[in-house]
Amino acid sequence: MVDNPLHRLDAFELVKMGKSTITVGGLGAAIVIVAAALLAARLAAAGLRRLRARAVGNAASLYIVEKLATYGLIVIGFLAALSTMGVDLTSLAVFAGALGVGVGLGLQGVIKDFASGISLVFERLVAVGDFVELSNGTRGVVHEIGPRSTRLRTNDSTDVIVPNSVLVNDQVINWTLHHSTRRIRVPFVTAFGVDKEKVREAVLAAARSVPFTSPDDATRRTQVWLVGYGESALKFELIVWPTIDSVRRPAAIFAAYTWAIDDALRGAGIEIPYPQRELRLRGLFGEEGEDARAALRLEPRAARRAKAKAAAVSRNDAAEDLEREDPEEPPLPVQGPPKPS
């Protein structure tokens, strides 16, 4: 009986390691298994990613399942490939230990980032869809937590790659942790001698007219605080709770409220100070007050205020920017009513 040449090629020995022998057939089967495992991991990740895009409440949990399924299929595929080739996995224990020590010394940073990535996935203090701020001032939405690095997308549509160890070891501000809003403070100043109650009413009305201001409730209220004295001004702060979706754009929030405050102060005729030197004349040619201004043919302040009120309302570009949607931004979670304290 003539031997099958393909059978002889299949049994052809390539490498022999102790009791383990690697043949051409075993190597081919191992390659097929690894390719199938990689394909299965890619298909599973794609399916779970589409499911996560449609799910809102359980997006973070589905992301953990996606990563575990991807890594698990790849690891199982490689182990099955080694077993199919005829490699005795127990005989590789000592070699794997020595190799692990060498790899650990040479790739400390990579291993550190990989372990940090696993910690991020399971602790969920920083999850996909969160808006975070790093210690260096970088802000962005977490779009992907990979095995070595995390991808942030800023409000300027710029992708920032951050090593996972930075998110674990450094201070990170998570603006949307537990999907609740945050109180912010917007500073502004007025001249000495202004009516503080008038300032408060004007600024509160301006803040409440901004569409992304949360309505007042028992625990969260929009307020105006007098916080100090400057060289030539009273220092105030607007204390406000923006909605959860606008918290993702803090720079636009501050710009929008500052714009609205400036419009409100000007409309109410409240003076905004600036470095200056004033020369006050109590009398001019025997005249005082409005009579002295009339003698100099100066326009009374009341007329200037009337013209300022009649001016058209300015356009707040920062407030409009908060309504802009990023096509790559994950969907926002559904925010329920605030819990009673």
Rounded CA separation 226/183 (Å): 17
Tokens 């409009």 found at: 320
Question: Tokens representing 222?
Answer: 């929009």
Write down the pLDDT at residue 240.
Answer: 93
Helix axes 24-54, 59-84, angle to 10 degrees: 180
Rounded CA separation 15/13 (Å): 6
Are the C-beta atoms of residues 240 and 222 closer than 8 Å to each other? yes
Q: Per-residue pLDDT for the chain (341 aa), expressed as one digit of tens each?
A: 445 554 555 566 666 665 666 676 777 777 888 888 888 888 888 887 777 767 655 555 566 677 777 877 887 887 777 777 766 666 555 556 655 665 555 556 777 777 787 788 777 788 888 889 998 889 998 888 887 888 999 888 889 999 988 888 888 988 888 777 788 999 999 998 889 999 999 999 999 999 889 888 888 889 999 999 988 889 999 999 998 888 888 888 999 999 999 999 999 999 888 766 666 655 555 566 666 666 666 655 566 555 555 555 566 667 777 676 666 665 555 555 555 54
DSSP secondary structure letters along 301-330: HHHHHHHHHHSPPPP-HHHHHTT---TTSP
